[in-house]
Every structure is written in structure tokens, then in C-alpha cells.
């Protein structure tokens, strides 16, 4: 997954202040918006970069799992996206996963590809039901975007929101809790949008470097021109390669 993202993105970046401060030996639910096909790869890179001590899992549409069965071997489990039986199976499987105090469950809670600028955010109610059932968990919003800056390849950008103690939501109505979770995710997405608009790499931690430059004859010509003028060749087009 890291190799694929290096080939297809300029860099994988995490907005400062960076990684969330999570308590030890409490299960974690990370819920996020769903802007792209790349989201599972991005999550796997983040999980294996910083959360190696936590076994990671995530739900996926059963049709998608049938199309990419290898995903089942790396922690994704199939769910029916609609209907009572699918919701029941999701809660049963997710609840069993979160019985492990070190487990980390990553959920694309919108349930379908959605532009990160769309408001209001619409979360599937299964997330709120799950949070109510797991008061021992920590709940963390996560925003993702894939904008183009100055290179031919896009940036993969992420921002974590403030962790929330699920015990504080015990007894809340599902509709009220869903609104609270939605608001937290929207705030995180809005903050990431400001970071993305700045095009400033100093506002991010670079998690993984990627592809720089155009390649082919154009970069060959630029390399030759740099050699002829005695300047070092800079493959990137931006002011910074951080």
C-alpha cells in the first residue's frame, strides 16, 4: 500500500499537531469522511506507520470484498450496506473486535464516496449505535483530502480531530449522538480544508514521500538545463520539497 501511494501521490501528509494522543489499552474507533477509492490504502499506511501495536480492522461493502478478497486478509470485513440484517451483523462484528482493548476500528462513516466539501456531512446511524454500545472506547474523527498542489501527482492529506470518550455518550439518543459525531467530523474537515488551501507543507508532518516531477522528456530537458548552468536539479515545481 505504501509503495502504491508513493507512486501515485506527491506525499502523504498529516496536518499538525499530528497523531492523536490515545490512552493505552482502550479500543479506538476512528471514523472518517470517504472522498476516494484510495481511503483504505491511506488508512493502512497510517495504521502501519504509527499504530503498529494496535490490530486494525474496518468494514467494507461485501461486493467490494468479493472484488478484492485480499482485503479480508488484512483486517477488512464485509457488511451489507442496507437493511436490518446488515446493520445487526456490523454491530455484532464491530463489537467483538472492540472487545480487544488494543483494537482499532476504522470506519468510513458516510458509507459512500462523497466530496469533502459537501455539507452537511451525512453519517450512517450505525456509527452512533456502535459508540453507544462501547462506552470503553475512544472515538476519533479523521478528515481526508486529495488535492493537487504544484506537482503532477496529488497530495494525500489527513487531519485527526480531538479524541472523545465514548463513556460520555452513554444513554444519549442515537439522533443526538449522530449529530454530535457529525459536528466533530465537519469541524475536522473544515480545518483540513484550510490547511489544504494554504498549500503550505509546513502545516503538515510528511508521513511518506512520493513522486516528484513530471518525468519523461520534460524532466530530462530540465535536468540537462540545470547541468549546463551549474545548478542542482530540483525535480519538484513547488517552492519546497518538504
Q: Is the pLDDT reported for residue 96 higher than 90?
A: yes
Strands, E assignment, the chain: 11-15, 28-32, 56-61, 76-79, 104-108, 138-145, 155-160, 164-165, 204-209
Q: By the 8 A CB rule, do 212 and 9 touch?
A: no
> Which tens digit of pLDDT belongs to each residue from 57-80?
999 888 888 888 888 888 889 888
Annotate 112-180 with DSSP letters as a single string: S---TT-SS----THHHHHHHH-TT-EEEEEEEE----SSSSPEEEEEE---EEGGGGTT--HHHHHHH
Q: Over the stretch 177-221, which tens digit does the pLDDT of each residue have?
A: 999 999 999 999 999 999 999 999 999 999 998 776 544 444 554
Q: Is the predicted pLDDT of residue 238 greater than 80, yes or no?
A: no
22-55 pLDDT, tens digit each? 999 999 999 999 999 999 999 999 999 999 999 9
- Distance (Å, whole) CA 90 – CA 92: 5
The cell numbers describing 236, all together, are 519538484
Amino acid at each position: 500500500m505504501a509503495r502504491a501511494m508513493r507512486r501515485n501521490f506527491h506525499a502523504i501528509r498529516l496536518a499538525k499537531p499530528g497523531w492523536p494522543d490515545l490512552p493505552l489499552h482502550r479500543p479506538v474507533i476512528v471514523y472518517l469522511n470517504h472522498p476516494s477509492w484510495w481511503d483504505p490504502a491511506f488508512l493502512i499506511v497510517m495504521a502501519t506507520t504509527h499504530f503498529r501495536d494496535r490490530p486494525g480492522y474496518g468494514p467494507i461493502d461485501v461486493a467490494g470484498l468479493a472484488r478484492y478478497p485480499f482485503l479480508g486478509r488484512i483486517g477488512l470485513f464485509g457488511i451489507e450496506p442496507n437493511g436490518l440484517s446488515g446493520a445487526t451483523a456490523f454491530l455484532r462484528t464491530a463489537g467483538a473486535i472492540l472487545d480487544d482493548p488494543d483494537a482499532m476500528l476504522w470506519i468510513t462513516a458516510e458509507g459512500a464516496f462523497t466530496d469533502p466539501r459537501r455539507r452537511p456531512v451525512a453519517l450512517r446511524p450505525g456509527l452512533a449505535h456502535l459508540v453507544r454500545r462501547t462506552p470503553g472506547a475512544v472515538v476519533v474523527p479523521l478528515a481526508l483530502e486529495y488535492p493537487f498542489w504544484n506537482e503532477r501527482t496529488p497530495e494525500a492529506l489527513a487531519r485527526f480531530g480531538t479524541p472523545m470518550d465514548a463513556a460520555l455518550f452513554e444513554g444519549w439518543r442515537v439522533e443526538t449522538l449522530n449529530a454530535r459525531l457529525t459536528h466533530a467530523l465537519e469541524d475536522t474537515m473544515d480545518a483540513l480544508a484550510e490547511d489544504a488551501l494554504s498549500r503550505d507543507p509546513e502545516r503538515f508532518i510528511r508521513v511518506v514521500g512520493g513522486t516528484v516531477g513530471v518525468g519523461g522528456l520534460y524532466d530530462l530537458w530540465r535536468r540537462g538545463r540545470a547541468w549546463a548552468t551549474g545548478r542542482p536539479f530540483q525535480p519538484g515545481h513547488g517552492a519546497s520539497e518538504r
